[in-house]
Amino acid sequence: MAFRAPFRSLATNARQSLKIGMIPADGIGHEVLPGAKAALQALGSSIPKPEFIDLLAGFEHFTKTGTALPEETVEALQKDCDCAMFGAVSSPSRKVAGYSSPIVALRKKMDLYANIRPVSSVSPSPGEQPDVDLVVVRENTECLYVKDEKQTVGPHGKEARATRLITERASRRIGEMAFKIALNRPRKHLTIIHKSNVLSITDGLFRETVRAVPALSGANGQYDSITIAEQLVDSAVYRLFREPHIYDVMVAPNLYGDIISDAAAALVGSLGLVPSVNAGDMFVMGEPVHGSAPDIAGQNVANPLAAIRSAALMLRHLGYGEGASRIERAVDEVIREGRCLTPDLGGRSKTTEVVEEVVKHI
């Protein structure tokens, strides 16, 4: 994955261990997170000895206890863990009284304001896929995901409204993150995704704030080498499918970033390949982009590669670049060889078999 994280580093410290919170949550999260664990354990001396702390969250936990995100999980992440891995969460399309997404809550409680999703094409046969090498930098704490909704009754029946929140602070922070990432990539190109031709106040604030990042005091011209472009979100999706090679780093409000990154995953073969990290200034949590996939849960056919790649991104964020590169190379080699792939990639291998193959390559 062509991605280098310009963030804080734990690797400069003489650490004996790396304490990693493990939150499988729902569905195939229980099947793919062991793959990430196995990859981390296979690194040996490339990283401090990993110590895994099992933690609870998710819709399944909610149905048993009435709580989707236990306070004990949050406290453990804050006090005992250096980083974390999250598996997958079920998101009921219907309203369930008392339930709200634990991953959305975790992002807010841990101030993980950036969701960073690299998407790159690795194909067993050259020419089978379009040339994709981009990073979606998604604001992670606001937009429509503040979940401020209400329903009333008007003259024409039921009326439902949702409040969308865009703040200067959040837009500036995600803008700074995106510029730092673009600065560390060869092309140094940043596209701001918005819809300010319609949402002139909310998207207008996002657009203006991100564009102003290079002029902020303290930037000192460090972003002068970055080319800045803009794209309306609807045309961005169209061009993503027609001309994916034009994009390098894409920065977007929460909802747009969610949609764009899933669309980009279609270009590289499967959601099961696309990793992410939820990053803040003090903590990072790896999370595969895919959902809980209840239709295949428990069948040992889920693709573990996104979770494994997410573990690598987590390491890179923390400063363990050598370990991250070893995992990334191993995953790419397994994909290129094409002998051991799960059904979503046209293969017949089991989840556990793919994990074993990646570990061999590490």
207-256: per-residue pLDDT in tens?
999 999 999 867 788 899 999 999 999 999 999 999 999 999 999 999 99
Q: Is 224 a catalytic residue?
A: no
**Among 26, 203, 258, 344, the one annotated catalytic:** 258
Q: Where are the domains of the chain?
A: 15-113+290-361, 133-267
Tens digit of pLDDT for each residue in 178-188? 999 999 999 99
Task: Give mean pLDDT, residues 272-293.
Answer: 94
Task: Give the CATH superfamily of 15-113+290-361.
Answer: Isopropylmalate Dehydrogenase (3.40.718.10)
Task: Give mean pLDDT, residues 332-340.
Answer: 94
How far is Cα of residue 68 from the mean position of the Cα atoms in its chain?
Answer: 20
**Among 19, 113, 145, 248, the one annotated catalytic:** 145
Q: Is 258 a catalytic residue?
A: yes
15-113+290-361 and 133-267, same CATH topology: yes
Specify the residue for token string 């909802």.
Answer: 255
**Among 133, 195, 320, 344, the one annotated catalytic:** 195
**Among 49, 234, 238, 281, the one annotated catalytic:** 234
Q: Is 145 a catalytic residue?
A: yes
Q: Is 332 a catalytic residue?
A: no
**pTM for this entry:** 0.90
How far is Cα of residue 173 from the mean position of the Cα atoms in its chain?
Answer: 17
Question: Which architecture does CATH list for 133-267?
Answer: 3-Layer(aba) Sandwich (3.40)
Task: Give mean pLDDT, residues 4-8.
Answer: 52
Task: Give mean pLDDT, residues 53-71.
Answer: 96
Confidence of residue 14 (pLDDT cuts 50, 70, 90): low
Q: Is 195 a catalytic residue?
A: yes
